[in-house]
Structure formats: C-alpha cells, structure tokens
Chains A and B, each alone.
Chain A
C-alpha cells in the first residue's frame, strides 16, 4: 500500500480504496444477512463459499484464458450450486433442530471447502487475481485522486447488488415470501409459501453474493485459499453492525469497516493495525448492540 511520504495527503485516495474494500464486504455481508434472516443460520462457511467460487472464476478466467465476465458468471453459478447443496443436504434434514447445530455444520463445510480448494488449486501459493476490467483509471476532476476503472466497477456492482436485493425483497413475490418466512415460517406455510424453496433460494442468492464479493476482492488482497476464507470475519463485523437483520445498516457498516481498515495503512506499516481495527469494531458491536435481552429472533 504505497510508501508513506505523508499520511494525511494519502487520505483522499485511501478513502477510495476503503470504499472499494467496503463494497466487497457489503456484498458478502448482505449475502450473510439474507441467509440468516430467512433460514436462521449464521453461515460460518460464507467466506469459504466465496473463496471456492472465486477459484472457479480463477480457473475459468486466468487458467483457461476465457473472458473475465465468463469467469464471474461461473463463480456466481458455483456459489449458487454450493448454496443449494448446503441447504438441501445438510440444513433441510435438520429443520426444527436448534440453530447452533446448523451453525456447527457450517464449520464442517468450511473445512470441506477449504481443504477441497487446497487440493485442487494449492493451499499456500498466491494466485494471479481475476481482473474484470482494465486497471487504468482517471483523475477525479480538480484533485490528485486517481480512481481505477476496476475500483469504480467494484463500487457500482456493490451498489447495484444492494439496490437489487432491496428491490427483490420489497417488490417481488419471492422477496415477499422470503420476508414472510423470516418473520414466521409456520404462518408462511399457511399462506401457501413453500418454505423449503424460499430457504433454498435465500441460500443460493446469498452464496452468489459471496461469490461476486470474492471475485471483486481478488485484486485488493494477496489471494489464496486462506485469505479469502477470512473475509467471513469482515462480513460478520459488517453484518453485526446491521444487527444481522438490517440490510441498509449492513451496507453502511461494511463501508465504514472498509474505510476504518484502510486509513491506518496511511500511517502505519503493515496490515496488522488494520486487522486490529476490524477486531475492535467487532468487539464493540458485540458489546453494545447485542446486550442481553436483544431478541435473537428473526425480526425484520
């Protein structure tokens, strides 16, 4: 992240980097919240799903030299397939079981996806990122800040997905069904909603969002099977800021987290301090937003 001439003069361009990072977190976190709201399961394997799908994109776009967009589409498809498999094979048979059993199952999926990707693509090596668009950029009028087209694309994609998810939930029958199931699965059934199908749809959509986030974040980090799985913790933090229920607050939280993680890099060497920021933010959110008495339910 650049040699530090002067911390303060770097802040404008670091704001852009932070927002881009935040945009990818927002995508992942919104997928997490969508799954949690509809199925009541906090998916610890969310980062692993993003990682595995991203490696599919890497296989298609970097190894097979197909257009990056094809890679992105392949990643989305992979995310949806993984989401469906997880829901159909391991969540649906446990309907009515405590949510924590299902959460521990997602730990099992984390191990499976992590080891699987390590076996296929190599566990420790670093990989060439998937570039969706050229890395050239333009200078923001009247400033020194250069914005890359790839950064702009990431921000736009994040915003489009945020708006699309909101529209999906508010305006479509599937979205209304999702909200109904989130409120009360039994009443949903009475209204003729197929709870299984809606839950599966939420797992597929949420995992697809994780996949997009994974592909978009590859140019920003050294990407391997380990580092991508770790974005689950950033997604958790953003989702916690949204109290695991509110999509707009999750989006805001993710942007805030992205900036909070980026600014310290203008002043301190190394990534350590920014990781500490994420951890402190998470601790603070857990302490203040999740006091005892906070309803752990599926409120909308």
Chain B
C-alpha cells in the first residue's frame, strides 16, 4: 500500500472509531473521553513548541488556566453570564498574551534556562496570580466559578456525548492547524530554527518573530484547551492548573513522543484512562504519577525517541508503510 493512502486510511479509521466508540459508552465514560480529547489539545500545544521549535515549556497548564479562568469569570454563574462564544475567544486571547509575554524573555534563553523560566512562570502563577486573594474576581478565590456548557446552532451541549463530539471536532481543527504548520512553510521555518538558530538567521529568517509566534500560538491553543476544560468540568479551580499538572503534561509528551500527532491522541487517553483503570483494579489513583515518572525515567534510559513514536516506527517497519517518515522523528535530546 502506498504510504500516503495508508496514512489517510488510518486517520479516517481513527476518526470513525473516535466518534463511534464513545457512542456506546455510559455518560461517565463519555465525560472521561471528552477530558481525554481536551488533554490531547493541550498536548498538541506543547507538541507545537517542543516538536517543531525545540523549546520546552513547563507552564502549559498556566496558559490553560488563563483561558479557563477567563471563561469562568465571564460566563460563570456568579460572573457576567456572557456567552461562551464571547468568553472563549477572550480566554484564548488572554492566554496568547501570556504566551507572548513569556516568549519575550524566552527569546534570549534556550534549553535548560528556558525550562527554569517556564517552571518559574508556572510556580509564580500558582503562588501569586492564581493564589487566593490576589485577583479573586478573575480566579474566583475559594469559591470556584461554575461556567455552563455552550449552545451551538441553538443546540445546548449539555449531553456528555454531544459535548464530547464538540470537543473532538475542535481537537481535529487544532490538529489540522498544527499539521498544516508542520508541512507548510511555517513547519520548514520552525524546524530550521530547531536544527540551528544561527543557520536559520543566516537564511534571513526573523528568529524573534517566529519564536514569539510559536510561543503565542502554543499558549493560545493551551488557552483554548483550558476554556473547554472549564465548561466540561463545569467548575474552575486554580488547583487544577498548578505546576504539577504542567509537569505531568510535559512528562506525558516525552513518554508518548515529541512531534507526532498520534502521540497527542494517545497521550490524552493515557492521562484520563490510566487513573480510571487503576480505580477499577482497586489501586489508588495516586499511583498514576508514580507510574508516569517511572515510565519517563525508564523510557529515556532505554528508548529516547518516545514510546508512541517508537511504536509507530516499529509498526510502520512491520507493515512496510510510513516507516521512513517515523524514522525522521528526532530523538528527544536532539529536539530540545
């Protein structure tokens, strides 16, 4: 089979399964599926930054928190009762602004120091911006905001399945955007920057513009994920956007693989379904970060390209499709 056809067929099959399977589930599992899709959007936001530009971020949930809290403050029951369709774009804009501001110092830093900076941003947000007492009209303080589900074409998305489908469509749109950026001119520019900043600027590329743009778009996508998370859960609590969540996200991206779209979907499933599985087995869900950390450590020691990417590569070799493309995926360390 021709690799392009095979890929198209597998993407189509994936979409059909993703629409059909939650249709057969109970509402509880549908809500978990929706959460998984939203986390996949957050993973895409990090993928854009790490896989394409080679920048690491430990503060994606801070950007998501900006989006979520904007929606909470403007659309929440205690807030202004604005429509989701107004508060969500504003949340995305606010998150984008946050990404832009973090991107400015990030221009001068790379690798290790960027990691420290983003960790500092996440902790600064935890302990100051999102802390009770600093800006309660935005964060809600000790009383979490409770935004309600949006209405789309006159249809109120209160059902778990309808909201799941809504979130899934947004995931597909974001994936399409990221995919286009990856194969188009933008992707080539970003990869050139990742490989060598000096070479890229010699080619006449404006590093400042592109890196800032990457940071801003990545934060905007994270803000969109946060806005969806706010209406999915129906409550916005700052503790859900703390630095441990950001670090967990970064760990999931590393474990699943950097720069692959399939790894985003699988990473999203991993974040919500593994704790659920643990619950079913009668194991404390707090074992999840323990398992994740162990996976991260063992996989970096043994399979530095990332689990899902390695699987894709092996599978591709087995089926003689797409193997060449998977082989192009860089080792994490080369990416960073």
Q: Which residues of A contact B (CB under 8 A)?
A: 42, 44, 90, 93-94, 97-101, 103-105, 107-112, 114-116, 118-119, 123, 226, 230, 233, 236-237, 240, 269-273, 275-276, 278-279, 282-283, 286-287, 290-292, 296
Say whether A101 contacts B248, CB under 8 Å. Answer: no
The count of A-to-B residue pairs whose CB atoms sit within 8 angstroms is 143
Chain A residues contacting B287 (CB-CB under 8 Å) are: 115, 119
Known pairs A94-B301, A115-B287, A292-B108; A108 contacts B124 (CB<8 A): no
The answer on a CB contact under 8 Å between B105 and A233 is no
23 A-B Cβ contacts within 8 A?
A: A90-B297, A90-B300, A97-B304, A100-B112, A101-B300, A103-B115, A104-B296, A104-B332, A104-B336, A107-B247, A111-B247, A114-B289, A115-B286, A115-B287, A236-B116, A270-B134, A271-B131, A275-B128, A279-B121, A279-B124, A283-B105, A286-B109, A296-B111
CB–CB B131/A270 < 8 A: yes
Given A111-B247, A269-B133, A275-B124; A290-B113 close (CB under 8 Å): yes
Q: Which residues of B contact A114 (CB under 8 A)?
A: 244, 289
Minimum CB–CB distance from B247 to chain A (whole Å) comes to 6
Q: Who on chain A is nearest to B247 by CB? A: A107
Chain B residues lying within 8 Å of A108, measured Cβ to Cβ, are 251, 292-297, 300
> In the complex the two chains form, what is the Cα distance from A3 to B128 in whole Å?
21
> Does B1 reach chain A (CB closer than 8 Å)?
no
Whether the Cβ atoms of A233 and B120 lie closer than 8 Å is yes
Output the nearest chain A residue to B131 by Cβ-Cβ distance.
A272
Residues of chain B within 8 A of A276, CB atoms compared: 124, 127-128
Given A90-B301, A279-B127, list of 11 further CB < 8 A pairs?
Answer: A93-B301, A104-B254, A104-B336, A107-B293, A115-B287, A275-B131, A279-B128, A286-B109, A286-B113, A287-B105, A290-B109
Query: What CA separation (Å) do A31 and B107 show in the bound complex?
Result: 29
Cα-based distance from A276 to B124 in the complex (angstroms): 6
Q: What residues of chain A lie closer than 8 Å to B105, measured between beta carbons?
A: 283, 286-287
Cβ B286 vs Cβ A119 within 8 A: yes
> Min CB distance, B177 to chain A, in Å?
27
Candidates A100, A115, A290; contact of B333 at CB < 8 Å: A100
Do A107 and B251 contact each other (CB < 8 Å), given the known contacts A112-B297, A115-B288, A275-B128? yes
Residue B290 is within 8 A (CB to CB) of chain A in the complex: yes
A3 vs chain B, min Cβ distance (A): 16
In angstroms, how far is the closest chain B Cβ from the Cβ of A23?
21
Q: Are B112 and A42 in contact (CB under 8 A)?
A: yes
Chain B residues with Cβ under 8 A from A119's Cβ?
A: 284, 286-287, 290
Residues on the A chain within 8 Å of B251, using CB: 107-108, 111
- Within the assembled complex, what's the spacing in Å between the Cα atoms of A204 and B100? 40
B123 near A230 (CB under 8 angstroms)? yes
A275 to B131 CA separation, bound complex (whole angstroms)? 10
Query: Once bound together, how far apart are the Cα atoms of A292 and B334, in whole Å?
Result: 20
CB–CB B301/A103 < 8 A = no
Q: Determine if B117 is an interface residue (Cβ-Cβ < 8 Å).
A: yes
B42: Cβ under 8 A from any A Cβ:
no
Compute how far the CA of A123 lies from the CA of B289 in the bound complex, rounded to whole angstroms. Answer: 12
Report chain B residues within 8 Å CB of A103. 112, 115
Q: How many residues of B contact A (CB 8 A)?
A: 45
Chain B residues 250 to 290 lying within 8 A of chain A, measured CB to CB, are 250-251, 254, 284, 286-290
Interface residues of B in 291-336 (CB under 8 A from A): 292-297, 300-301, 304, 332-334, 336
Contact of A275 among B127, B295, B336 (CB under 8 A): B127
Is B193's CB within 8 Å of the partner chain A? no
Q: Which residue of B lies closest to A283 (CB)?
A: B105
Q: Chain A's nearest CB lies how many Å from the CB of B290?
A: 4
B239 to chain A, nearest CB (A): 10
> Given the complex of chains A and B, what is the CA–CA distance between A273 and B127 in angstroms?
9
Which of these, B109, B127, B289, contacts A111 with CB under 8 Å?
A: B289
Q: Are A111 and B296 CB-contacts (below 8 A) given A104-B254, A119-B286, A282-B120? A: yes
* CB <8 Å contact, B290 and A105: no
Task: Find chain A residues with CB under 8 A from B124 CB.
Answer: 275-276, 278-279
Least Cβ–Cβ distance between A66 and chain B, in angstroms: 27
In the complex, what residue of chain A is closest to B255 when comparing beta carbons? A108
- B35 interface residue (CB < 8 Å to A): no
Minimum CB–CB distance from A105 to chain B (whole Å) comes to 5
| B165 CB-CB contact with A under 8 Å | no
Q: Name the one of A110, A123, A279 contacting B123, with C-beta atoms under 8 angstroms.
A: A279
- Residue among B105, B116, B124, B247 with max Cβ neighbours from chain A (10 Å): B116
| Interchain CA distance A283-B127 in the complex, whole Å | 15
Residues of A near B301 (CB, < 8 A) are 90, 93-94, 105
User: Which residues of the partner chain B approach A118 to less than 8 Å between Cβ atoms?
Assistant: 286
Chain A residues near B294: list those with CB within 8 A.
Answer: 108, 112
Instruction: Check if B290 sits within 8 Å of A116, measured CB to CB.
Output: yes
Q: In the complex, which residues of chain A have a beta carbon less than 8 angstroms from the beta carbon of B334?
A: 98
Please give, as numbers and ranges, the residues of chain B lying within 8 Å of A94 by CB-CB distance: 300-301
Judge whether B112 and A111 touch: CB under 8 Å: no
Q: Is B119 an interface residue (CB 8 A)?
A: yes
A114 to B119, CA, bound (A): 16
* Cα(A236)–Cα(B117), bound, Å: 10
CB atoms of A98 and B109 under 8 A apart: no
> Are B108 and A115 interface neighbours, CB within 8 A?
no
